[in-house]
Amino acid sequence: MIIGIPREIKGDENRVSLTPDKVDLLVSSGHPVVVETRAGVGSAFSDENYRSVGATVVESPSEVFDRADMIVKVKEPQAQEYEFFHENQILFTYLHLAPEPELTRALLSSKIAGIAYETVQEDDRSLPLLYPMSEIAGKLAPQIAARLLQNTSGGPGKLIGGVPGTGPAHIVVVGGGTVGFNAALMAKSLGAAVTILDINLHRLRYISLATHDEMETLVATPQNLSDVLSRADVAVGAVLVPGARAPKVITSAMVKQMHEGSIIIDVAIDQGGSVEGIRLTSHREPTYSDEGVTHYAVPNMPGIVGNTSSISLSNATYPYVLKLANEGLHDAIHNSSAISKGVNTLEGHVTYEAVADALGLDYVPVEEALSA
C-alpha cells in the first residue's frame, strides 16, 4: 500500500504525521511512502531525513494525494485540500467532524474512508491516538497561562507560583481526563494553587490519591463550578466526549462572574469548545477579551512543539498505520475493533453515531457501509 504524507497547511501547524524512523519501518515492510517536500521542517526533520530511509519526496500535495492509497495526516484537511480526495482512499488523521459540516460533506461526496485518530478506541475504552496530544495539550496549558499572566501579554502581572509573602495563581481545571490531569499536574509543579473538577467521583478519588491530596478536587456541579471560577485566575476547559461536540459546561453567566484579567484556556475547542460562546483563535492571534476575561481557544495547541508532538503522535499511530497497510481497509476493520470504531465516514456514509447526531445526518454502522 502506498502511504502519503502531505505537509500540514493549517495555520502555525508544525507537526508531521510520521517521523523518519517510522517511515523507515514502513518502507522496510514493503510499503512505499510519498512525502511532500518540507513536510517535516517544522518538526526538525528535513527532506533528506526522509529520502535517506527510502521515501519519495515530491513537490506538491496533489502528487501525494494522487499517488497514495492511504493519506496519513495530523490535522483535519483544509478546504483547499478537498479537491484532492478520491474514492476508496483512506484518510487517517484527526478529523473532529462534529463541528465540521463542510469537511464531512466533502468526505461523503468523495466516498473517502475517513478514520479519525480521536475515535480509535481499544476494548478497554482507552483512546490511544488521542492520548498523546491530550497529554501534550494538558502540559502546555499552564505554560501558556504563565505567559498570559505576565504584563507583557496584557495580563495582571502575576507569577504563577508566587513567592514567599505573595499568593500563587489559582488555576481551575474543568475535566479530570488526560488533558485535565496533565494540566493540573503541570500547574501544580509550577507552584499554582489547583482545583480540578469532574463529574466522575471515582476519577476524583484517583486524582486525589495520585497527587497525595495536593490539589483541591470537586464534583463538577454548576454551583461548584460557578463558585470556584469566581475565584480563579485561570480556567482550563478540558471536557471531552469522544467524537461528539464538547458540552458547554462553562456558561456565559459563569464567565461574567470571573474577575477582570482572568484567563480561560479552552483545550476542547477542537470539538466546539466547552465554554459557551467561545470562538476559535490561532497561534498568531491566540487571544481575545470578552467580559474582561482573556479567552484562548487555539485548536492545534501541540502544533507549537512540533518535534515533541510529532514523535509522540507517530509512536502512537504507527502500529495502526502498519495494520491498515498490511491488511487493507476491509480486513483491518474486521480484525480490529479499535480501527472499526475509528471509521467516521465510509462509502459515502457517516459511520460514527456521535458525528451523525451532531450534524443531523443519517448514521450507518461500519459493517453495513462495508457491505453496501
What are the tens digits of pLDDT across the range 65-121? 999 999 999 999 999 999 999 999 999 999 999 989 999 999 999 999 999 999 999
Helices (H), 279-305: none
Instruction: Read off φ and ψ for residue 226, nearest 5 degrees.
Output: -60, -45
Question: Which sign, positive or negative, has the C-alpha torsion 181, 188, 174, 200?
Answer: positive
16: confidence class by pLDDT, cuts 50, 70, 90: very high
13, three cell numbers: 501547524
Q: Which of 24, 31, 96, 233 does the annotation list as catalytic?
A: 96
What are the tens digits of pLDDT across the range 248-289? 999 999 999 999 999 999 999 988 899 999 999 999 999 999
Instruction: Read off φ and ψ for residue 295, nearest 5 degrees.
Output: -110, 130
Write down the mean pLDDT value for the chain.
96
| pLDDT at 232 exceeding the cut of 90 | yes
Around Cβ 282, how many Cβ atoms within 10 Å?
13
129 DSSP assignment: T
Question: Which sign, positive or negative, has the C-alpha torsion 109, 112, 113, 116?
Answer: negative
Is residue 31 part of the annotated active site? The answer reads no
Q: Which of 31, 270, 295, 349 does the annotation list as catalytic?
A: 270
Domains annotated on the chain, with CATH: 3-127+305-371 (3.40.50.720), 131-304 (3.40.50.720)
Is residue 270 part of the annotated active site? The answer reads yes
Say which residues have a Cβ less than 8 Å from residue 211's Cβ, sequence separation at least 6: 184, 185, 188
